[in-house]
Every structure is written in structure tokens, then in C-alpha cells.
Amino acid sequence: MSKLPMLCAVAAVVIGALGPWMMAGEPKRTDATLVAWLACGALVAVFAGFLAGRRDETSGSTWPGLAGVLLAGGCLATLGMAVGAERQNYWDAWHFASILWAGAGSAAVGLVAVWTSRSKTNAAAFALPFAALLMGAYLLLWSWMTFAFVQDIEGAIVRWTYLITHG
């Protein structure tokens, strides 16, 4: 069994976790760029691990796949924390967009990785639905940013929940 996929996975998780960890504290003004680059760097590590794992007969790309799933979740958390802390008053659009793309890319790579490894390890089979869920979440987020009708649906739900709690 090659150690390279696992090393890449560990690297991806460690690098990817730095972003949410920084966001959980009091973000400094320079953090936006760093957080964005960390997410992209972790995506590269996931992708490299996936490529390396394709030749692994034993576990395939299981570990990079799991790292991809974790990274995708971490990017979503980072975005959530950024909006929650009103970082839009400091961040540029590319900070948000690059984290979102890094997360979506991680979810996609993770999905493919665990799909191709699902018959080799229990972990891959276990992670597959999570990867699909995250992929779906990113698709939803992307469609909200892209299509007005999705925003209309979101607005309708917000109004509906307001109306069922206010007379």
C-alpha cells in the first residue's frame, strides 16, 4: 500500500482545518487571503492524493476521498462563519468565491474518490453518502447565487416561515 495518498489526505485535512480554526477566533484583516489560499492548497492536496490513490490496489483513494469530504465540510463552515461574522465588510468577492470553489472541488473529488473506492474499504462506502450530500449542498449554493428563481424559492420559504409565526 502506497503511503502517498494517505500523506496527501493528512496534508489536506491539516491545511484545510486551518481556515475554520482561524475563522473560529477573531479573524485579522489579512486572514481572508490566507484562508482562501489554504482552502485551495488543501484542494490540491486532495486532488494529488486522489491521483496517487488510483494505483493503490488495497485502499484506492479512500483516504483522499475522506479528506475531500472533510475539506468540503470545512469550507462550508468557513463560509458560514464568515457571513455570520459579517466578513463581507472586509473580504473581497474572490475570497468567498475561491473558498466556495475549493469546497465544491473537494466535494467533487471526494465523491469520485470514495465512489471508485467503495468496494475496497468500508470507510469509502460509509463516506459516499456524505460526499453526495456535500456535493448537493454546493450545487444548491451555486444555484442560489446563479438563478433568480432559486432565490425566489428561498424568499418564499423565508416569508412562509415568518407568516406561520406571526399573525
17 CB-near residues (< 8 Å, 6+ apart): 70, 74
Query: Looking only at Cα atoms, what is the longest distance across the chain?
Result: 64
Query: Which bin fits 56, alpha (ψ -120 to 50), beta or left (φ > 0)?
Result: beta
Q: How far is the CB of 32 from another protein (least distance, A)?
A: 8
Q: Is 143 a binder of another protein (CB under 8 A)?
A: no
Shortest distance, position 38 Cβ to another protein, whole Å: 16
Q: Given candidates 1, 24, 139, 157, which one binds another protein under the rule CB under 8 A?
A: 157
Candidate residues 25, 57, 84, 146; the one interacting with another protein per rule CB under 8 A = 146
Question: Under rule CB under 8 A, how many of the chain's residues touch another protein?
Answer: 45
Q: Does 126 bind another protein (CB under 8 A)?
A: yes
C-alpha R_g of the chain: 18
- Taking a C-beta distance cutoff of 8 angstroms, is the pair 128, 115 a contact? yes
57 binds another protein (CB under 8 A): no
Which residues, 17 to 36, sit near another protein by CB under 8 A? 29, 32
149 near another protein, judged by CB under 8 A: no
Instruction: Say how far apart CA 74 and CA 145 lie, in whole Å.
Output: 20
79 or 109: whose CB is closer to another protein?
A: 79
3 forms part of the interface with another protein (CB under 8 A): no
Rounded Cα distance between 71 and 147, Å, is 26
Nearer to another protein, 14 or 140 (CB): 140
Give one DSSP letter per residue of 120-166, joined into a string: T-HHHHHHHHHHHHHHHHHHHHHHHHH-HHHHHHHHHHHHHHHHTT-
Residues at the contact surface with another protein, assessed by CB under 8 A: 29, 32, 88-90, 92-94, 96-98, 100-101, 118-122, 124-130, 132-133, 142, 145-146, 148, 151-152, 154-155, 157-159, 161-167
